[in-house]
């Protein structure tokens, strides 16, 4: 445990209204450790300023959420701020559609950049001036080598590169050429501005990296103002410095770029000295999390858009019914470190269920209906029974549900020949209808042709109203049901993992991850019977369909006549597990 003054977590306790910070261990990750040390040494005047720097070339996914939670979370804990900065230095791939979705997703997760929304493109002029400064320092030059030649000159991992023949141009010539590059005097790709560092460096990033390229491409913000665009390695550290970022947190693949990051900061006299820290990106089992692949899934119609509920994008997860708190709790629970890791997706599902359990209204819905008639129940009688909305939260109150002679129950809740341990309905067996009565099955009606069970006849015990008797009778099984004449029809969409294997890259020679796509990741059920209250469902409100799963109204396919529900995540299924292991034994 660190001393109290070393831990801002303790000097700035979270208020009551803050979501629970799910880190019972109280251990501090290596990034916060570094920040604590910097603070102790009095760096940055005791300030902590971070940034979340997405490139607007795709939708945000759960991996970005880890970074967002880290950057905004750290800012909050240390009483600092976190900027939202779009890293839009490559107009060929970027689009406003993406900046809009990114803003929506960050907000949805519950983070606030206030007025600090920035674009690297806002710094193009300043960045250009810095480049001239570098030229004047003799630290950058205009190079006429083609991309192919640059690659050849760069050398390899084990052999040093060789210097460009243009490396020794005079400062005046470089300045002149660079200005003319900006003025549009040279064709695309014909020249580049390069840093003059060390062609023999063991770190390839230091072998005279390109700073500016010529590209006549319309930028989504600066439009046609520029025909030269800065490279990430150059723009990023300087953008950080311009914003006064103290800790520039990024993923591991940029570790090799840190010497270059520091080089720019030390060559140019920036007023602030940002520090880059790298952590391991998130990987999830049964999931693919690279922009290249996600965009491929969308463009080749393997899924129905960026917000397909099977996608790991924040838009997809939101539509699927995930809550921001579940994602945030997940992100803080998995930790931050430097070892490449793959998180079991069961973790995500755990934190989802944990949150949904507290929030979801319990309702009854029958996915695969089986008609059930209570023979000894009066023909035209309808009762209004009380049902609690959420046993985890009595304040959620109760509602009335209609009950009568004809009901639907779930097909899989009846077995003519029950296996051992099955305590749902079977011939002669008494079970409880949730919130209603005890019933006993007396007769099965089958389709004479197919043998399929199409109707059940039962008797009920009038003394068990509400699902209780006073005689201490033990009724183990409880079934959900819906009144047949009152039930509404709904479409229900069941989702499972998009990929068949924990590691989508686990493929046969010559195949790629797409061969592991799960052909059954979406199952559409029609003719589902739901209780009437569900006709008031709104997207974004979580429901628990009792004994089954959490669901939410689909924001795209629902209509007033026919609601469509997405299965967010199943309930834990202990019986399913038992049955599975029984089957294994046989």
Which sequence positions are flagged as catalytic?
55, 281, 291
C-beta of 74 vs 336, nearer to RNA: 336
- 8 Å CB contact between 199 and 161: yes
3-state secondary structure of 296: helix
Find the part of the chain contacting RNA (CB under 7 A) among 99-107, 302-310, 350-358, 533-541.
Answer: 350-358
- Which residues lie across from 313 on neighbouring strands? 61
Binding of residue 189 to RNA (CB under 7 A)? yes
Binding of residue 7 to RNA (CB under 7 A)? no
Q: Which of 307, 299, 298, 297 is nearest to 557 (CA)?
A: 307
Q: What stretch of H or E contains 351?
A: helix 345-359
Q: How far is the CB of 166 from RNA (least distance, A)?
A: 10
C-beta of 117 vs 280, nearer to RNA: 280
- Which residues lie across from 213 on neighbouring strands? 192, 229
Q: Pick the binder of RNA from 43, 93, 457, 514 (CB under 7 A).
A: 93
C-beta of 526 vs 582, nearer to RNA: 582
Q: How far is the CB of 450 from RNA (least distance, A)?
A: 25
Q: Nearest 5°: CA angle at 530, between 528 and 531?
A: 165
* Residue 143 tokens, joined: 């190079």
Q: Pick the binder of RNA from 357, 515, 533, 555 (CB under 7 A).
A: 357
Q: How far is the CB of 310 from RNA (least distance, A)?
A: 20
Q: How far is the CB of 176 from RNA (least distance, A)?
A: 18
Q: Where are the beta strands (DSSP E) in 437-521?
A: 438-446, 453-461, 478-479, 481-483, 488-495
Q: How far is the CB of 479 from RNA (least distance, A)?
A: 7
Q: What stretch of H or E contains 530?
A: strand 522-530
Q: Pick the binder of RNA from 267, 290, 347, 440 (CB under 7 A).
A: 347
Binding of residue 214 to RNA (CB under 7 A)? yes
Find the part of the chain contacting RNA (CB under 7 A) among 65-73, 200-208, 506-514, 518-526.
Answer: 200-208
**Which 10-69 positions form the footprint of RNA (CB under 7 A)?**
24-25, 27-30, 33, 53, 55
Letters for 279-298 (x = contact with RNA by CB under 7 A, - = none) are: -x------------------
C-beta of 136 vs 188, nearer to RNA: 188
Find the part of the chain contacting RNA (CB under 7 A) among 12-20, 300-308, 431-439, 482-490.
Answer: 431-439
Q: How far is the CB of 557 from RNA (least distance, A)?
A: 25
Q: How far is the CB of 418 from RNA (least distance, A)?
A: 8
Q: How far is CA 155 from the centre of its chain?
A: 40
C-beta of 67 vs 521, nearer to RNA: 67
**Which 227-246 positions form the footprint of RNA (CB under 7 A)?**
229, 231-233, 236
**Which 368-397 positions form the footprint of RNA (CB under 7 A)?**
390-392
| Euclidean distance between CA atoms 529 and 487, whole angstroms | 6
Q: How far is the CB of 266 from RNA (least distance, A)?
A: 18
C-beta of 265 vs 360, nearer to RNA: 360
Q: Which of 517, 476, 520 is nearest to 494 (CA)?
A: 520
- Phi first, then psi, for residue 393 (nearest 5°) are -145, 85
Q: Pick the binder of RNA from 11, 79, 190, 511 (CB under 7 A).
A: 190
| Euclidean distance between CA atoms 235 and 212, whole angstroms | 10
H, E, C per residue of 212-255: EEECCCCECCCECCCCEEECHHHHHHHHHHHHCCCEEEEEHHHH
Residues in the chain: 586
Q: Pick the binder of RNA from 129, 137, 337, 535 (CB under 7 A).
A: 337
Q: Which of 218, 226, 153, 216 is nearest to 188 (CA)?
A: 216
Q: Pick the binder of RNA from 5, 136, 423, 540 (CB under 7 A).
A: 423
Binding of residue 169 to RNA (CB under 7 A)? no
Letters for 145-164 (x = contact with RNA by CB under 7 A, - = none) are: xxx--xx--x-xxx------
Q: How far is the CB of 55 from RNA (least distance, A)?
A: 4
Q: How far is the CB of 198 from RNA (least distance, A)?
A: 12
Question: CB under 8 Å to 285, separation ≥6 — which residues?
Answer: 342, 343, 344, 345, 502, 503
Q: What stretch of H or E contains 566?
A: strand 564-570
**Which 528-547 positions form the footprint of RNA (CB under 7 A)?**
544, 546-547
Q: What stretch of H or E contains 193?
A: strand 192-195
Binding of residue 5 to RNA (CB under 7 A)? no
Letters for 251-280 (x = contact with RNA by CB under 7 A, - = none) are: -xxxxxx----------------------x
Count of alpha carbons within 13 Å of 146, Cβ hemisphere only?
2
Find the part of the chain contacting RNA (CB under 7 A) among 201-209, 268-276, 370-378, 514-522.
Answer: 201-209
- 8 Å CB contact between 353 and 513: no
**Which 454-493 positions form the footprint of RNA (CB under 7 A)?**
466-468, 477-478
Sign of CA dihedral 520, 522, 527, 533: positive
| Euclidean distance between CA atoms 487 and 57, whole angstroms | 45
Q: Pick the binder of RNA from 16, 346, 470, 561 (CB under 7 A).
A: 346
C-beta of 157 vs 395, nearer to RNA: 157
C-beta of 100 vs 468, nearer to RNA: 468
C-beta of 179 vs 434, nearer to RNA: 434
C-beta of 377 vs 558, nearer to RNA: 377
For 445-473, b/e burial (b = at least 16 CB within 10 A) is: eeeeeeeebeebebbbbeebbeeeeeeee
- 8 Å CB contact between 98 and 86: no
Find the part of the chain contacting RNA (CB under 7 A) among 65-73, 482-490, 493-501, 567-575.
Answer: 567-575
Q: Considering just the CA atoms, what is the radius of gyration of the chain in Å?
A: 31
């Amino acid at each position: 445990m660190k001393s109290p003054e070393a831990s801002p977590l303790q000097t700035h306790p979270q208020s009551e209204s803050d979501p629970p910070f799910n880190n019972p261990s109280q251990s501090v990750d290596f990034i916060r450790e570094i920040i604590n040390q910097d603070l102790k040494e009095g760096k940055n005047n005791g300030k902590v300023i971070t940034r979340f720097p997405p490139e607007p070339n795709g939708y945000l996914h759960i991996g970005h959420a880890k970074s967002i939670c880290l950057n905004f979370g750290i800012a909050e804990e240390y009483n600092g701020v976190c900027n939202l900065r779009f890293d839009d230095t490559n107009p060929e791939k970027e689009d406003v559609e993406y900046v809009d979705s990114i803003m929506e997703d960050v907000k949805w997760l519950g983070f606030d950049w206030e007025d600090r929304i920035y674009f690297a493109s806002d710094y193009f002029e300043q960045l250009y001036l810095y480049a001239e400064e570098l030229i004047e320092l003799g630290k950058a030059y205009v190079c006429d080598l083609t991309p192919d030649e640059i690659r050849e000159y760069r050398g390899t991992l084990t052999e040093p590169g060789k210097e460009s023949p243009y490396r020794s141009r005079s400062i005046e010539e470089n300045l002149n050429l660079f200005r003319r590059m900006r003025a549009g005097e040279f064709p695309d790709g014909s020249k580049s501005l390069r840093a003059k560092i060390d062609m023999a460096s063991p770190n390839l990033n230091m072998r005279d990296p390109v700073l500016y390229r010529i590209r006549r491409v319309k930028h989504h913000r600066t439009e046609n103002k520029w025909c030269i665009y800065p490279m990430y390695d150059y723009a990023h550290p300087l953008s950080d410095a311009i914003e006064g970022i103290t800790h520039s947190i990024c993923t591991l693949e940029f570790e090799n770029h840190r010497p270059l990051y520091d080089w720019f900061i030390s060559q140019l006299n920036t007023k602030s000295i940002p520090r880059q820290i790298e952590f391991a990106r998130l990987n999830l089992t049964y999931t693919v999390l690279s922009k290249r692949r996600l965009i491929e899934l969308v463009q080749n119609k393997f899924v129905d858009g960026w917000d397909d509920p099977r996608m790991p994008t924040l838009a997809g997860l939101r539509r699927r019914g995930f809550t921001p708190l579940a994602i945030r709790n997940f992100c803080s629970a998995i930790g931050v470190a430097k070892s490449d890791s793959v998180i079991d997706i069961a973790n995500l599902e755990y934190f989802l269920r944990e949150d949904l359990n507290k929030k979801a209204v319990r309702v009854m819905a029958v996915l695969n209906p089986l008609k059930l008639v209570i023979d000894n129940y009066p023909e035209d009688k309808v009762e209004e029974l009380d049902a609690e909305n959420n046993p985890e939260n009595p304040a959620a109150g109760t509602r009335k549900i209609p009950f009568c002679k004809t009901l639907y129950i779930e097909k899989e809740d009846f077995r003519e020949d029950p296996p051992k341990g099955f305590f749902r309905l079977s011939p002669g067996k008494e079970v409880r209808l949730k919130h209603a009565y005890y019933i006993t099955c007396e007769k099965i009606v089958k389709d004479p042709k197919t043998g399929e069970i199409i109707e059940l006849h039962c008797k009920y015990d009038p003394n068990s109203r509400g699902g209780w008797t006073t005689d201490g009778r033990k009724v183990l099984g409880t079934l959900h049901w819906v009144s047949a004449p009152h039930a509404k029809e709904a479409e229900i969409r069941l989702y499972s993992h998009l990929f068949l294997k924990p590691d989508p890259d686990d493929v046969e020679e010559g195949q790629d991850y797409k061969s592991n796509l799960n052909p059954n990741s979406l199952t559409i059920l029609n003719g589902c019977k739901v209780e009437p209250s569900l006709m008031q469902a709104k997207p974004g409100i979580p429901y628990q369909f009792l004994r089954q799963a959490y669901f939410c109204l689909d924001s795209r396919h629902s209509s007033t006549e026919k609601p469509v529900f997405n299965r967010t995540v199943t309930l834990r299924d202990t019986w399913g597990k038992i049955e599975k292991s029984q089957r294994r034994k046989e």
